[in-house]
Every structure is written in C-alpha cells, then in structure tokens.
A and B are shown apart, each in its own frame.
Chain A
C-alpha cells in the first residue's frame, strides 16, 4: 500500500525516474537490529525492497507509520505450510531426492497467518514419516506465487528423522492383509539402521568407483558438506543417535556432516554433546508442563541452557497454529526461561538465518538486506505486546494502523 502511495506521489511530482523516489519510511520507538544494537526513536528507510538506511533520532509525522518496535522479520525453520501426506513420499523410506518445493500450495491460507504473526521466512521440509524425507526449501511468506521468486534458498538442507515417528504406523506384512503401512522400519533401531545403510551404501559405492545414483548423490552432497543435515530428534536417545551418526561418518572417513537438530526438546540435558559435535538446535514450542513428543521433556530453561553453552539455538512453531506456539510468544517464553531480549531475538532471526546460510539476505535489520520486518506495538517478546505489522521485501503486508 505504501509502495503504491509512493509511486503515485512520484508521478504527481512528475519525477522522471520514479525508482529513486519509491522509498518507504517506518518509524519506531526502538529498532532492534539483531546485531546487538538497539536504536531508540529511529526510522528504517526502504528502497526497492531493501533496507537503504537506518536513522536514529527521527520524529514521525502524523501520517507516518509509527510503531513501538521494529525487529527483523522472524524465521521459522520448522514451519508447516504444506503438511501431512503431501510431503511424505511413501514409495520408499529413504527419498533424498524428493523436494518439498514441488508440493507447495502458494495459495494456502496459512501464508497469511504466518505473515500476521511476523514470520517472513520459513523453511519447509518433508514431514517425518520417512527416515530421510528429502530436500527442504526456504521461502518468503509473501511475494510472487512462483518458486523461483519466492525461494530464499532451494535445497537448503536434507531432512530426516530419528525416533519413533518414521516407524509410527508401519507394521510387518505378516498375518494381516498388505496395506499402505506394510513396510519397514517398524522400530527405533530400524530407523537408525536405515540411516546407516543409506549412507554406508552411498559412500562405499563411491569408494568402489561406481557412478552414484541420484538418491546416493543426495546423500554424498551432505557428506561433502554441500548442505546441512536437518534431523528431527525429540528425546535424548535420538539426539545422541544423530550426533553419534555424524561422528561415525567422520571417523569412517565418509565426510563431515553439518548437523541441525529439529524439535530437540531434550537438548538441555547434554549441551556439551552438541558443543562437541558443533550441532545447531531448532526447538519446538514449549509444551504445557514440559511434556513433548517421543517421551521428551522440555524444560522452560532449555533455550537458556543451550545459549549459555554456546549452542546455536533457533525457536520454531513446529507447525503448531495456536497464537501461543508461534514465534513471537515462543520468544517471550524463552525469556521467561532466562534468555535476554537480545538472545530471544537472535533465536528467531539471525541465528536460524545463519544455520541455513541465508544471513546474507535476511535475519537482521541492516542496510542492504531484504526489507523483511516485524512491527510490534511494544517491547518485543513480552506478554503485553504483539506483532501488529509485517513488511516483506519492502511491502507493508500487515498494516499496523489497521490491526
């Protein structure tokens, strides 16, 4: 809306080159940059969808957009816009070449809800009924309904899962009619075996000089460090399995895996293990009474313990839709667990951006970066305030004056 207004203005003034005049300015009592700076009474100037200036000590006029606080747009690495069976290719348990980007409905109502909650970039992944589900894609929550333009990073990581979920619902084929779930693995150990077998086969085939199949190539890319491995592991035993798997790949000489753990609710138990393996952690929403999935217990101070240990931590909604489970409130609950405002902010902006290597474009309020902003009516990550506006690529999609 503001962009249109800007354009009209430019025409009215008869400016020959409207590009230079197409600037939007948003004022705030405080701008939290995600780089450790807080700029009081500042303004963010946007030109051509990028942040062109951050100016302190600016006073807004009556018609200007003025909010309590500006932060970078939030990044949810475990979002679910496409969900359920649409993202699980059931023909095999190991499908490293499946791309979730081919299952995205750009017209899903969930995009609007994501935007409304201040989330501007999401990482979409195949869900976890497969052991190795496929390739994730990072996209903006608004913009053109074309993958090429919406994507921030394609094939951002390879997604898989430890624990019970890949085997849940599966059963052996004996003694009952064959159906959809007559397949392996049927246990936790079966899941682990599938992981090992897939990577060993790929690595040994390469060692033998055999040309890699497309599936094997997807695994070799991970071993070669081309993209991180994004593994869902709720409970301590599954977190250990993931870490030991990574270490095994290194000790076998197959390659150095970059590990990101998703939904690692119990990561607080052994932060030193994560430090040792240089793993990053994506946390699920804090459950009532701490009881998460797969028997995991998530303490209120989980994020705090990990940050203190030096583990990179990102908060996520894990696909939950309730207001409380979305990032703004998860940041607030992380503060209740002991994080500072600045640490909570980093855990939903610059840290997740760095994890998947998109921090050159998004994740902080910095000149030259994409103008993706969350606008708040008060102190960010506080029970008494909320996201009232969202800017993506310079476009004011949720207007704080109407919200």
Chain B
C-alpha cells in the first residue's frame, strides 16, 4: 500500500472502518445464533443455547428451540452470548456537548450526533449496543436527547428512540453561582407559565397571534394534533389552557410544556449533594418528578437517603469510588458509591469512563470487586438502564420479543481476559473482531507498512465541548509548567 493511498485512508478512516464491519444481513431477516453459553439476564444462563431471530427481534431462545430451515446460522460453541450493554447517558459522539444558551429545550441532539465519530465505533467494540446521547451538564436546560445504536451512517439509521428526554442541570453552569442556577431553573418554568397565560389571555380576548405565529413558523393544524389540547391530564394547571390547540404552542416552548405534562423523561444532573434537593424541588413543583432520573456526581452518595425516600432512579458517575480529603485532619475517606445506593434500594445505572477503556463490562466487574453481587452489577449496565430509558421491553436482556442485540464474548463477560468477538444488533452481525484493524493495532501495535501511529493531536476519540476545552488546556499547561 503506498503512502498516498494510506493518507486517503486516514482521512476517511472512520468510514472505511465502519465499512469493514459492514452489516451482515440475514436472508429474510432470519438468523440463528448458537453459543456455548447464553446469559439472558431474563432467567438462568442456558448452556449450548440457541437464539432465533426474525426481522431484528428474538422469536425464541433456549436449548430445544426449532430454527427456521431457511435461517442463516452463526455457530459459536466456544463463546458466551450476552445482551448488548446499555449506556444510560453519554455526552460523547456529537459536535459539542454543551450550548452557550442557558435554556435550550428546543434544540435536538439529533442535529449534533456525528455517526462517524470514533466514540460509536469504540462503543461497538466494547459491546455497547444502545446509547442515550444527551447534552452535558453545562446548561440549565439542555437539548432533547436521542437514543441510538452505534451503527449506521446517518442519525436515522442509528435511531432507536428520538425525543429521549430533556437534560436539566442543578449543578451551576460555568460562571454561575448555585443560587443563580437554581433561580434560572425555576425561572425557565416561570417563563413558560407566563407565556401560556399570555396565550390564553389572547384567546380570551379573541386575538389569534399564537395561531398566526404557528402558521408563520410553518406548522399545519393537521388532523390529530389540532384536536389535542395542551395540558390535558397534567398536574400543572394554567387556567383556560384547554382553549389552546396543541399545534398553536410556540415550538420554543413546546418541549418544556411536554416536560411539565409528564410526556418527556428528564435527566437531571446533580454536581453535589445539595443540588439533589434543588433538582427534586424543581421536578416536583413542575410535575415531572415521576419521570425524573438523577445523573449524579460521585459526591452525591451523601444525598442517597433523600433520593431513596423519593424512590428516584439514578445514573452514577464513571468514578466508582468517591475520595474525599477531610479538610481538617487530611484523612482520605473512600466511599464505594454504587454500594451506598444498592444498600438503600435505589435503582442505579453505571456509566462508562471512555468507550474503549473502562467500558460498561469493566465498570460492572469493578463493582463486583467492591462487593456488589454479579446480578446487581450486571443489571446496572443492562436491564436497569434499559428500563430508565423506557426500553425495558426492547433491550437489556435476551428474551423472546426483544431486539436481537447480542454480544459474543470469548469467556465470562466480566473477566479481564475476555474479549468481545462479535456483536449482533437488531439481527445484523455488525462487528467481528477478526476484521477490526484498529483493535488489532491497539492490541498488538500492528499497523500498515511505512506508517507511524497518528499523533495525539490528530487523534481525538472524544472531541470535548470546544468552549470548555480551552480551559482544560490551560490547566494542563499550568501543571506542566509546575513540573518543569
């Protein structure tokens, strides 16, 4: 391979790599996976199990199931089949993970997701088959999220569930104080109420500004939406809102209205234990507490009692052990965070550190090392995040009726020596380690002739938010200066 050729490969590397795992599409969508062991997480593990897939869904699973005569058969007698991991929330894989605008529920990460980002490719290598892509915590109210699978060249192909929920942050956005942040959160809902009251008043006054604005914005009063009225069945009342057809609501306000109506899930970031009470207050006052999942900093284990009392589910930080230095004695106190929540009976999901290292299998394994049972640890990276994302009936375990998202491990999924050999998503074989040149490079250093590994500067698996990136750079420089 000549140099010129390689250059072009580097430029279009992600495209080619994805092409290398070109989906193997079974004839008529029928596929049979036979594995030495099938860990279903929906019952006991099955020795020498068979998974029958039709049109992307599992139709039968067990030792003694009838396979369609015309199905493709994948036989892996030495491998362990496991449900695809579910990443409960991630801020990677998109253009930038934070907005300058404080309150931006009218944005959608669908416009930011970059299908050829390394992050998705690496997630696939690690056996993650479902990802909830959401804005990061540097916001007051962020964009609408999107649940995707890590395969496909467009967001439409990747899509598992659009409109996956709004992110809110009780942790102060850069430059704000905790008090300003809390008021900004309350203020956003205050503004929504003011807007709705104005719309109602206009209706009562016989004006049709809202209608004209809606038409101007290009919305049509189509059959279904024109019938639906805003605030039906909501705990959050605005007197007279039933007069307003849903399609007339300004599209900048509509997502937040859906939130207070309890129609959208909320992911509420908490950067410290005190943020937890702000998040609960805001969610409760505005009627969406029942649909709220808290996304917690490790320090928030201190608020575990408050969270348990409200029965809220949580997504835990990738740092599993919270280390705090006593400000007086200097003693370092370590707390294994998932252990605290497990003990209080709070439902929790774990997050990856990065896609390739400390991915979900590793996080679950570490939890076992710190004393969780295997069942607890595995649930936190499969069934629990699936339920939190409203996909409990589709992903997270292997059972008839569920999406055929199957990871084939060379051994116990939690063992450090096991590797992800194959990944099947919705019935398509989309990853094969034996053809993964990048993985081979990471594992053995093997690389094309006359090339050197790409520079750190050129390779950025997780392009961070550009706004905060500069600050980080400065810090690193300062540190370097110091060590010199």
Q: Are A and B interaction partners?
A: yes
Contact with A along B321-332 (1 / 0, CB 8 A): 100000000101
Does A181 touch B at the CB level, under 8 Å? yes
Contact with B along A124-166 (1 / 0, CB 8 A): 0001010000000000000000000000000000000000000
Q: A324 touching B358 by the CB < 8 A rule?
A: yes
Please give, as numbers and ranges, the residues of chain B lying within 8 Å of A335 by CB-CB distance: 416-417
Partner of A109, one of B321, B332, B445, B459: B332
Give chain A interface residues in 259-317, CB to chain B under 8 Å: 268-269, 288-291, 295, 297, 299-302
Please give, as numbers and ranges, the residues of chain A lying within 8 Å of B356 by CB-CB distance: 288-289
Partner of B442, one of A84, A269, A299, A383: A299
Give chain B interface residues in 440-469, CB to chain A under 8 Å: 441-445, 453, 455-456, 459, 461
Known: A335-B416, A383-B366. A169 touches B484 (CB 8 A): yes
Does B21 touch A at the CB level, under 8 Å? no
Q: B445 touching A299 by the CB < 8 A rule?
A: yes
Does A196 touch B at the CB level, under 8 Å? no
| Chain A nearest CB, measured from B351 CB (Å) | 15
Q: B443 touching A301 by the CB < 8 A rule?
A: yes
Q: B369 touching A84 by the CB < 8 A rule?
A: no
Please give, as numbers and ranges, the residues of chain B lying within 8 Å of A336 by CB-CB distance: 416-417
Contact with A along B416-429 (1 / 0, CB 8 A): 11000000000000
Q: A378 touching B357 by the CB < 8 A rule?
A: no
In the bound complex, CA of A134 to CA of B442 (Å): 35
Closest to A128 in B: B483
| Chain A nearest CB, measured from B330 CB (Å) | 7
Does A241 touch B at the CB level, under 8 Å? no
Q: A323 touching B321 by the CB < 8 A rule?
A: yes
In the bound complex, CA of A110 to CA of B149 (Å): 42
Known: A109-B332, A301-B443. A383 touches B453 (CB 8 A): no
In the bound complex, CA of A231 to CA of B332 (Å): 34
Partner of A289, one of B361, B366, B459: B459
Please give, as numbers and ranges, the residues of chain A lying within 8 Å of B24 by CB-CB distance: none
Which among B321, B362, B459 has the greatest number of chain A C-beta atoms within 10 A?
B362
In the bound complex, CA of A118 to CA of B484 (Å): 30
Please give, as numbers and ranges, the residues of chain B lying within 8 Å of A109 by CB-CB distance: 330, 332
Please give, as numbers and ranges, the residues of chain A lying within 8 Å of B443 by CB-CB distance: 299-301, 337
Q: B415 touching A84 by the CB < 8 A rule?
A: no
Known: A301-B443, A301-B444. A386 touches B369 (CB 8 A): yes
Please give, as numbers and ranges, the residues of chain A lying within 8 Å of B368 by CB-CB distance: 384-385
Please give, as numbers and ranges, the residues of chain B lying within 8 Å of A217 by CB-CB distance: none
In the bound complex, CA of A269 to CA of B453 (Å): 13
Does A351 touch B at the CB level, under 8 Å? no
In the bound complex, CA of A113 to CA of B366 (Å): 18
Please give, as numbers and ranges, the residues of chain A lying within 8 Å of B370 by CB-CB distance: 386
| Chain B nearest CB, measured from A193 CB (Å) | 21
Q: A377 touching B369 by the CB < 8 A rule?
A: yes
Does A332 touch B at the CB level, under 8 Å? yes
| Chain B nearest CB, measured from A24 CB (Å) | 25
Does A333 touch B at the CB level, under 8 Å? yes
Interface residues on A, range: 35 or more
Please give, as numbers and ranges, the residues of chain A lying within 8 Å of B365 by CB-CB distance: 382-384
In the bound complex, CA of A399 to CA of B441 (Å): 41
Q: B484 touching A129 by the CB < 8 A rule?
A: yes
| Chain B nearest CB, measured from A67 CB (Å) | 13
In the bound complex, CA of A94 to CA of B35 (Å): 61
Q: A384 touching B445 by the CB < 8 A rule?
A: no
Give chain A interface residues in 185-208, CB to chain B under 8 Å: none
Q: A84 touching B482 by the CB < 8 A rule?
A: yes
Dominant SS at the B interface? loop
Q: B445 touching A290 by the CB < 8 A rule?
A: yes
Does B67 touch A at the CB level, under 8 Å? no
Which among A129, A336, A384 has the greatest number of chain B C-beta atoms within 10 A?
A384
Q: B366 touching A168 by the CB < 8 A rule?
A: no
Q: B442 touching A289 by the CB < 8 A rule?
A: yes
Does A381 touch B at the CB level, under 8 Å? yes
Please give, as numbers and ranges, the residues of chain B lying within 8 Å of A290 by CB-CB distance: 441-442, 445, 453
Please give, as numbers and ranges, the residues of chain A lying within 8 Å of B445 by CB-CB distance: 268-269, 290, 297, 299, 301-302
Partner of A384, one of B414, B441, B484: B414
Does B272 touch A at the CB level, under 8 Å? no
Does A112 touch B at the CB level, under 8 Å? yes
| Chain A nearest CB, measured from B237 CB (Å) | 50
| Chain B nearest CB, measured from A165 CB (Å) | 10
Q: A113 touching B332 by the CB < 8 A rule?
A: yes
Q: A289 touching B461 by the CB < 8 A rule?
A: yes
Partner of B369, one of A268, A300, A324, A384: A384
| Chain A nearest CB, measured from B395 CB (Å) | 23
In the bound complex, CA of A386 to CA of B361 (Å): 16
Please give, as numbers and ranges, the residues of chain B lying within 8 Å of A382 by CB-CB distance: 365, 415-416
Q: A383 touching B414 by the CB < 8 A rule?
A: yes
Does B354 touch A at the CB level, under 8 Å? yes
Closest to A286 in B: B357
In the bound complex, CA of A380 to CA of B242 (Å): 65
Please give, as numbers and ranges, the residues of chain B lying within 8 Å of A377 by CB-CB distance: 369
Closest to B325 in A: A109
Please give, as numbers and ranges, the residues of chain A lying within 8 Å of B361 by CB-CB distance: 383
Contact with A along B308-338 (1 / 0, CB 8 A): 0000000000000100000000101000000
Partner of A291, one of B332, B362, B414, B456: B456
Known: A336-B417, A377-B369. A300 touches B484 (CB 8 A): no
Please give, as numbers and ranges, the residues of chain B lying within 8 Å of A113 by CB-CB distance: 332
| Chain A nearest CB, measured from B337 CB (Å) | 13
Q: B444 touching A299 by the CB < 8 A rule?
A: yes
| Chain A nearest CB, measured from B224 CB (Å) | 49
Closest to A377 in B: B369
Please give, as numbers and ranges, the residues of chain A lying within 8 Å of B354 by CB-CB distance: 288
Partner of A383, one of B321, B362, B459: B362
Closest to A127 in B: B483
Give chain A interface residues in 92-113, CB to chain B under 8 Å: 109, 112-113
Q: Which residues from chain A sit less than 8 Å from chain B, CB to CB?
A: 83-85, 109, 112-113, 127, 129, 168-169, 181, 268-269, 288-291, 295, 297, 299-302, 323-324, 332-333, 335-337, 377-378, 381-386
Can you list 14 contacts pairing A with B, beta carbon distance less than 8 Å? A84-B482, A168-B484, A181-B484, A268-B445, A290-B445, A291-B456, A291-B459, A295-B455, A300-B443, A301-B443, A301-B444, A337-B443, A383-B362, A385-B368
Interchain residue pairs A-B with the least CB separation, the first 3: A383-B365, A299-B445, A169-B484
Known interface pairs A299-B444, A301-B445, A333-B416; 10 further A-B residue pairs with C-beta atoms within 8 A, sorted by A's residue number = A113-B332, A268-B445, A269-B445, A299-B441, A300-B442, A302-B445, A377-B369, A383-B362, A383-B369, A383-B414
